[in-house]
Structure 1
Amino acid sequence: MLKRFCWSLLLLFSQFAVAQNKTPDEFLGFPLGSKFAFHHQIVDYIKLLQSQNTDRVKLVQYGSSNEGRPLMVAFISSAENIANLEKIRTNHLKSIKLLDGKPDAATPPIVWMSYNVHGNESVSANTSMKVIYELLNKQNALTQDFLKNMVVMIDPCINPDGYDRYSQWYNRVQNATPDVTPFGLEHDEPWPGGRFNHYLFDLNRDWAWQTQKETKERIVLYNQWMPHFHADFHEMGHTRSYYFPPAARPFHKDVTAWQRQFNDLIGEYCRKYFDKNNWAYFTRYNYDLFYPSYGDTWPTVNGAIGVTYEQGGGGRAGLGIERKDEHDTLTLASRISHHYATSLATLEAVLSQKERIVSEMIKFHEDAVNAPAGSFKTYIVKAKGNEERIRSFGEWMTRQGFVYGIAGKTASTKGTELTTLNEQSFKIENNDLLISAYQPKSNLLRILFEPKPVLEDSVTYDVTSWGLAYLYGLKAYGLKEKLVPATYQAEKIENPIPATSPYAYLAQWSEVEHAAFLADLLKNGILVKSSNVPFDINKATYEAGTLIIPKKGNENLAFDKLVTSIATKHFVKLTPVQTGYVSNGADFGSDYIVSLKAPKVVAVTGDGISPTAIGAIWHYFEQQIGYPVTLVNGSRLSTLPWNEIDVLILPDGKYSDIINDKHLEALQNWIRNGGKLIAMERATDAFVGKQGFNLTKKFTDKKKDSDTFKKYGDQEREDAGDTSPGSMFQVTMDTTHPLSFGCGKEYFTLVRDAYEMDYLKDGWNVGYLTETGYKAGFVGNKMTGKLKNTLVMGVQDMGRGHVVYLLDDPVFRSMLYNGKILFSNAVFR
């Protein structure tokens, strides 16, 4: 009897032990909020909770960061829901027409909460542990009600590389007792900071464009679940309080009435927590719902309720920072409390509308399939001559979840050309891409194709123009009638070795893969040439910039096998020719045919340099064309072995402490001896008016006296009048200059600032803005004049070398397809 009693007691204690999850404090060995947990500790804690709650938690690794850290989502719900998780998912996708068939049961709301998309906004990842713990706390009736009625998805850290960059730095420099002095070392985060991912991209601007590894892998899972609600947790400057919805204007015009209504509802639930605790907050200011590539807007245009939460703090706040104006010290613990409160408020709001949030999303997608909004019911993208670009565009559309195909036949029709907005007659050809608006993601499709978004307010947070025809440099049309696509299959590129070894292979130059192909050839020691003029051969016309890979000079290689295999790898179609004679243009032995060498490329990084600018360059070389780039700290510029460098890239940044007069003299000597300097955006300021450099500012009229009288209350709008937060312009190009080769007849760019540079008096004005360049997006009234008749891209010859001035960043966020080709020209030509 005693033995049986002991076993019962042991069983009772073991059940109690399993039922009691470890708190974050117990697991970490320190109170949550007293120190930053490392990413692996957060992951290990969630793994522990899963092992103790296998019936209520399913942890999924959906990818890994560039530095190899796991990207995880924890599914948390009732035991019944977790057991039926796949059925819930498929029923949901069927209900919104993203899977064939009809659902056989109602679907609970699916709520995805994303923490720490910006690495140094580190309260978020730490908060996620507390949220998950409380969701699994069986003593909490409210959270158990959440699990019974919804599926909660928690991504504890979207950007683990940035998060650990910040937390490792902070944990190294923090005092034993946190120093709350604002100018202390632990509030002075070193360059580049933890905000960005490994390649220094802002992942919160990448939802639509999906250029980064982390984003691509996350969106795969997102599209497999299509949550009803997505919450994105952030931090802002430490002097501010807390932001939660309602969002600020402008709203994109296609944000639905229901989404706007729920935006207000979220605010009501958040206010209950904040008012009860006397916490400061603000709404309807600064954070809008316009640009469709954020963690709130991209889910919104996919039919979800998307919201942003912003806690005052950020990288400067550390574990605690004094705020004299507020008479308080902002601590990590208090920041965690605030994000924890809005996490619960989110789930409470969803619970209060659990049936409607599901039914509204079903309606959103049913309307998209049956009666899509907007005047265009079909989009046609011209394919001829852009086959590789179409391949890239198709891959991007697949990642978005769009359904598309080809026309499958020829026809004459009318449509609106999406860069000019002119209705015109044109011919649909068999292989043109055809995208019907009658599909579940029709709203996202329409918004991303949008050539001229309607802006209801001039004060905006980010880019105000993004039309796909502009970004991809493709000729596209919107049609008012419904057309049904035929099946699309990307052309399989093969380059068989010719029976007779050719005189040379020819390859077009108009795609990013062509640049990757060139990079691969050069890395393999293959001699590559290029024509600086168009030419005709064998009754075919080739544009200037065409690559010529001659047999002569490559005899010591397995020439045919190597060239054809590299071309096939990069989807490049080769044309073998048996002669160097052309019927029109320049023969292959003429001075117009130039050799392209494998340059040693160096790019400047470090203090003063824009992290995102150097990050875009770094990513372009390593991940897009696969060519080596050496990054050097700007402080070492004077000690570089100039004779070993062919190309020096100066990204956007402040160079006043990096380049002095002695540096300018050394740079000029290097350039005259054959070096190439590429100066981008604000880096060009270092050369304005300097002897030997031909860059000058435009003449600007002085302000009129009346301009000095303005109202204090109008300050924000007055400031907006002197901005261009990413507006679309068409650049007038000198298409005969090698810098423009392969960019087509129309080149568009996202203008984000006015550098007011005059045309080069002694140099090549390759790209410039005229009075008719504006296409779409917000441009302030004071900015308009600055963006007329101004240089955008120029080249100055200097001895045997060149200076390339790029006043607009062609690889900005990796968004502009033609920009990457232009940048390739700057580097290799």
Structure 2
Amino acid sequence: MNSSLFRRVLLLCGLLLPLGLVAAQDKTDSLEAYLGYPLGSWHLRHDQINGYLKQLAANSDRVSLESTGFSHEHREQLTAVITSPTNQARLAQILANRSRVKQGTAEQDLLIIWLAYSIHGDEASGAHAALALAQQLAQSREQWVQELLTQAVVLITPTQNPDGFDRFSTWANGNAGLNPVSDEEHREHMQAWPGGRYNHFLADLNRDWLFLRQPETRGRIALFHKWQPHLVCDFHEMGHNQSYFFQPGVPERTHPLTSKRNQELTDKLANFHRRALDGRKQPYFSRQSFDDFFYGKGSTYPDINGAVGMLFEQASARGQIQDSNFGPVSLQQAIGNHLTTSVSSLQGALALKAELLDYQRAFYRGKRNLGRSGKLLSTRGDGAARDDLATLLRQHQVQYSYLRQDIREDKKVFRAMDSLFVPDEQPQSALLAALFDQRTEFADATFYDVSAWDLASAYNLAVENDFRPEWEQLSELPLLPPRFEPSDAAVALLLDWRQGNAAAALAKLQARGVRVRVASKPFTQRQSGRNREYGPGTLLILLQQPGFEAGEIQALTQQLAHQFGLPLEQSLSAQAMVGADLGSDDFYPLTPIKPLLVSGRGSEPTEVGELWQYLDTRIGIPTPLVDSDRLEKVSLENYSHLLLADGDYMHLDEDVGRKLANFVNAGGVIIAQKGALIWLKKRNLLRTDVREDRFFLQQFSTAELSWEDRESFKARQAIGGAILEWQLDPLHPLSWGLGSASLPVMKNQVLGLADSSDPFVEAAHYRDPPLRNGFLAPEYGRAFGGTTTMVAEPRGKGAVVALADNLMFRNVWLGAERVYANALFFLPVALGN
């Protein structure tokens, strides 16, 4: 079909974007000419987006490009910087001025507007609208555009998730015909697992703005703080049976740290969208859905950083066209709506320029200097976690200091190797308060995402608030591990398992054939003239092993300790002052592992991705992903561990259950969490009873409730994300190296475990009451309090590990992720099977 006939088909189907929306007086660099077809005829690929941006930048003196790095699959993320030629010529000066915003000394003259699109890869209309807008701003001679570019710098990021975007475009284009199919059941609208929403490691990038676990996010955060925008617009898609949404959201669901002035400006900007969409006769809604609560999203992170963030949601065609309750919704219609509100955002910001500039100026006023008091934070012996936390704070431009020496405070010791000091008074004090926010009471119990996220829980920090250090106790540079001086008299090396990178070092040692043992009990050795206590989980590397030359193991271990920043100690004798000697049976021999991670049908993509990213990037173990439908055909004898993320696995039949039972009986270990436990119990792979939502919902009474109470009642019954506290059995193998007897976890599913009849399988239970931070209905608090959360059931030569919660939450829960390393490296041998 030739292009003109294709255009006629699209027009007849109502799919072609009205030309008036993208009209530009200069026809050079036409987007349609570049693509070879009208915008929206096919779903764009990321390389096409970057190619067109580069062409615009090469041919227009209004456009330059900024790279924010590469995705996991090495796709470059480009942002178009569009402003007048005069402003383009002085960008270095403009950026130098923007760098002083947080100090309160910047000249607030230019308006900085950032329009960001398609952070979810299958919400594709935003990226298409972004290219149409970039063309218009680069070429239009309309007076409002000229005025805008004189007074503002516009940043346009068409796609914030290149890998997911291309995964979706390949699916949508591969299942689209020349005659568009609007049937909701059409394959084009039903993506295969995992879908295009997520990035390479299946992370939801719009939940990562605070945690910075993904390279795409780290690039965006760097761009944000480099330009310090006044307005950030975040363009999404929602269910196809909805219309169009823009903020403000539900007023009662705005985070208390967000100012009323911020919400007033949001509503003033919304008036421009209302008029623009009314002009298109496009239905919309506002205030009745979504929220401004969790600061880890693209529309809320700006609100705690001196800007105004706005969320836009367009009904999605998930292809070319799809039937909906409002009639057919098309990609072209979605592009047109997002382009309309992109323009209204620019025009509204220009009209409200003085107010936006004043808002940011007031936000940072008086925050230039650092205070003398603040938070003293310890990662409980984990130097790698301290460095991870320091990197996260630095990327958010939160100021902190290392300790020059150990500090003793209120009978607690904060060691220089694992602690930071963060002053409460500083330019980023508002964001700092959000990062460590703790609250359990809320005006509205409805949450679009989690109700709590504080870093003290994520890293399981020991915290001393309102601490006033002496300046000589602080340092700008971290204290490095003591220099390791190898001794010819050494008989063994010792690695502290509390170190987050110890698992990666262990995996490397085993890959090189080095035999490693693990301490099952505490012991004390004489080190450098003093007694040194070691906890269970300490790794023992004997220096004389078959197949290695003298000094070879020592050199290799020393190299790995340097690579992973691990303090390495040597023992000059196998004798222990207290506890087990190094040659005793209390040091278990470890064997190399080869895990299998179940993916595909039934499994929850984000939790599969969290486990995958942990195994691949944190530990460095090649991990096969095997779709659940193929488990019956896979030879499990080749694997040591099988991991089941949350999900619904009821499609797996008895044959698969018997196969997994044989795997465990032969010495394999199953590590499963949340919904996967229901299937394990059904197939008699788990002896401990699993309590599903119907058990807990019985705790709620509907007495004296009316129809008006139904929404708030449903909200109370949901657990969108609250931080609960586990009490650990500190000597259980699954608790080794965790550094404390309690463990904060994120709970976001109504599911629990009953107490086991075997007292030796329980490794942890909920504190009573369990709530640490966030919203949890009192009915759940009573039902969960004191109940089992983690078991390790021996079975034959192997074991089944059951976790009531996801301890890997968004790959930022570093305080708890070591449980997985313990289950991988120490089981089943540490259970005595």
Report the TM-score when normalising by structure 1: 0.91
- Residue among 639, 650, 668 paired with 1:675: 668
Are 2:129 and 1:135 aligned?
Answer: no
1:547 alignment partner AA: L
- Residue among 517, 520, 537 paired with 1:545: 537
Partner deviation per Cα, 1:291-331 (whole Å, 9 max, x = no partner) = 11000111211111111111011xx53111112x32x2111
Q: In angstroms, what is the RMSD of aligned CA positions?
A: 2.4
Partner of 2:334: 335
Alpha-carbon separation, structure 2, partners of 1:620 and 1:669: 27
1:721 alignment partner AA: R
Q: 1:226 offset after TM fit, Å?
A: 1.6
Partner of 2:59: 52
Partner of 2:400: 404
Partner of 1:351: 350
Partner deviation per Cα, 1:525-549 (whole Å, 9 max, x = no partner) = 2111100100001111001100111
Q: Spell out the pairing of 1:656-805 with structure 2 (5 A cutoff).
A: 656-658=650-652, 660-688=653-681, 690-691=683-684, 693-698=686-691, 700=695, 703=698, 707=702, 711-745=706-740, 746-762=742-758, 763-805=760-802
Partner deviation per Cα, 1:369-411 (whole Å, 9 max, x = no partner) = 3699xxx951111367343322222122111111111455787
Maintained 8 Å contact 1:246/1:266: no
Corresponding residue SS for 1:367: coil
Corresponding residue SS for 1:368: coil
Alpha-carbon separation, structure 1, partners of 2:142 and 2:224: 29
- Residue among 565, 569, 574 paired with 1:575: 569
More off after superposition, 433-442 vs 532-541: 433-442
Q: 1:704 offset after TM fit, Å?
A: 9.0
Partner of 1:257: 260
Partner of 2:318: 317
Alpha-carbon separation, structure 2, partners of 1:169 and 1:88: 42
Partner deviation per Cα, 1:419-457 (whole Å, 9 max, x = no partner) = xxxxx7867777752211222111101111123265321
1:552 alignment partner AA: Q
Corresponding residue SS for 2:347: helix
Alpha-carbon separation, structure 1, partners of 2:812 and 2:312: 26
2:437 alignment partner AA: E
- Residue among 470, 491, 496 paired with 1:508: 496
Show structure 1 runs of 5+ residues with no match: 1-16, 414-423
Q: Spell out the pairing of 1:192-591 with structure 2 (5 A cutoff).
A: 192-248=194-250, 249-313=252-316, 317-323=318-324, 325-326=325-326, 328-369=327-368, 377-382=373-378, 385-406=381-402, 432-452=419-439, 455-479=442-466, 486-493=474-481, 496=484, 498-500=486-488, 502-538=490-526, 539-553=531-545, 555-556=547-548, 558-591=552-585
Partner of 1:4: none
Q: 1:172 offset after TM fit, Å?
A: 0.8
Partner of 1:12: none
Q: 1:728 offset after TM fit, Å?
A: 1.0
Alpha-carbon separation, structure 1, partners of 2:482 and 2:403: 24
- Residue among 82, 88, 96 paired with 1:90: 96
Maintained 8 Å contact 1:503/1:576: yes
2:719 alignment partner AA: S
Q: 1:804 offset after TM fit, Å?
A: 0.5
Alpha-carbon separation, structure 2, partners of 1:705 and 1:47: 58
Q: 1:555 offset after TM fit, Å?
A: 4.7
- The structure-2 alpha-carbon separation of the partners of 1:437 and 1:523, relative to structure 1 and needing over 3 Å to count, comes to same
Corresponding residue SS for 2:449: coil
Q: 1:786 offset after TM fit, Å?
A: 3.4
Q: 1:491 offset after TM fit, Å?
A: 2.5
Maintained 8 Å contact 2:377/2:463: yes
Maintained 8 Å contact 2:402/2:479: no
Alpha-carbon separation, structure 2, partners of 1:644 and 1:65: 32
Corresponding residue SS for 1:566: helix
Corresponding residue SS for 1:120: coil
Maintained 8 Å contact 1:18/1:52: no
Q: 1:251 offset after TM fit, Å?
A: 0.9
Maintained 8 Å contact 2:484/2:568: no
Corresponding residue SS for 2:752: coil
Q: 1:244 offset after TM fit, Å?
A: 0.4
Q: 1:687 offset after TM fit, Å?
A: 2.1
Q: 1:740 offset after TM fit, Å?
A: 0.7
Q: Spell out the pairing of 1:97-246 with structure 2 (5 A cutoff).
A: 97=103, 102-103=105-106, 106-246=108-248
Report the TM-score when normalising by structure 2: 0.91
Alpha-carbon separation, structure 1, partners of 2:744 and 2:787: 15
Maintained 8 Å contact 1:292/1:301: yes
Q: 1:474 offset after TM fit, Å?
A: 1.4
Show structure 2 runs of 5+ residues with no match: 1-23, 827-833
Partner deviation per Cα, 1:734-771 (whole Å, 9 max, x = no partner) = 11111011112221101112313202223511111142
Partner of 2:80: 74
Partner of 1:38: 45
1:583 alignment partner AA: M
2:610 alignment partner AA: A
- The structure-2 alpha-carbon separation of the partners of 1:705 and 1:364, relative to structure 1 and needing over 3 Å to count, comes to closer
Partner of 2:7: none
Alpha-carbon separation, structure 2, partners of 1:554 and 1:812: 41
Maintained 8 Å contact 1:725/1:779: no
Q: 1:242 offset after TM fit, Å?
A: 0.5
- The structure-2 alpha-carbon separation of the partners of 1:278 and 1:482, relative to structure 1 and needing over 3 Å to count, comes to farther
Q: 1:670 offset after TM fit, Å?
A: 1.7
Alpha-carbon separation, structure 2, partners of 1:495 and 1:141: 66
Alpha-carbon separation, structure 2, partners of 1:482 and 1:409: 11
Partner deviation per Cα, 1:172-214 (whole Å, 9 max, x = no partner) = 1111111001111111111110000000000000000000111
Alpha-carbon separation, structure 1, partners of 2:807 and 2:379: 23
Identity %: 28
- The structure-2 alpha-carbon separation of the partners of 1:499 and 1:427, relative to structure 1 and needing over 3 Å to count, comes to closer
Alpha-carbon separation, structure 1, partners of 2:195 and 2:726: 34
Q: 1:662 offset after TM fit, Å?
A: 2.1
Corresponding residue SS for 2:140: coil
Partner deviation per Cα, 1:482-526 (whole Å, 9 max, x = no partner) = 976833312334664614052110010113211121122122221
Maintained 8 Å contact 1:137/1:143: no
Maintained 8 Å contact 2:370/2:423: no
Alpha-carbon separation, structure 2, partners of 1:623 and 1:702: 39
Partner of 1:29: 36
Q: 1:789 offset after TM fit, Å?
A: 3.2
Corresponding residue SS for 1:688: helix
